[in-house]
Amino acid sequence: MLNETGLAAKRLELEITEGVFLSNDEHVHEMIHNLKKIGVKLALDDFGTGYSSLSYLLRVPFDKIKIDQSFVRGASGPKAGTRR
């Protein structure tokens, strides 16, 4: 369908949420690999809102990571960095 629009794949950026990776479905990883192979850019949207895992960042070659405000606020809040 992309070739029907005339848009170059490298100009397309798809935003993917963390929920896509919860099933750890091989089909999802294959589809992402195929999209990257044709030049589509991938952005991880709202990182830190759900089951955040740095493993997503290692397994998927994201071009952009959008970190949710609540994740940043939580990491820099009054209890951040304190030891118990």
pLDDT tens for each residue of 9-62: 999 999 988 788 777 778 888 999 999 999 999 998 877 776 666 777 787 889
| Alpha carbons 80 and 75: distance in angstroms, whole number | 5
Backbone angles phi, psi at 39, to 5 degrees: 105, 5
Q: Is residue 2 part of a domain?
A: no
Q: Is residue 67 part of a domain?
A: yes
Q: Is residue 81 part of a domain?
A: no
Domain of 47, in residue numbers: 7-75
Q: Is residue 66 part of a domain?
A: yes
Looking at residue 37, what is its pLDDT? 94
Q: Is residue 80 part of a domain?
A: no
Question: 3-state class of 51 per DSSP?
Answer: coil
Q: Is residue 83 part of a domain?
A: no
Structure tokens at 19: 């929920």
What's the number of domains the chain is made of? 1
Q: Is residue 38 part of a domain?
A: yes
**Mean pLDDT of the region 69-82:** 65
| Alpha carbons 35 and 16: distance in angstroms, whole number | 12
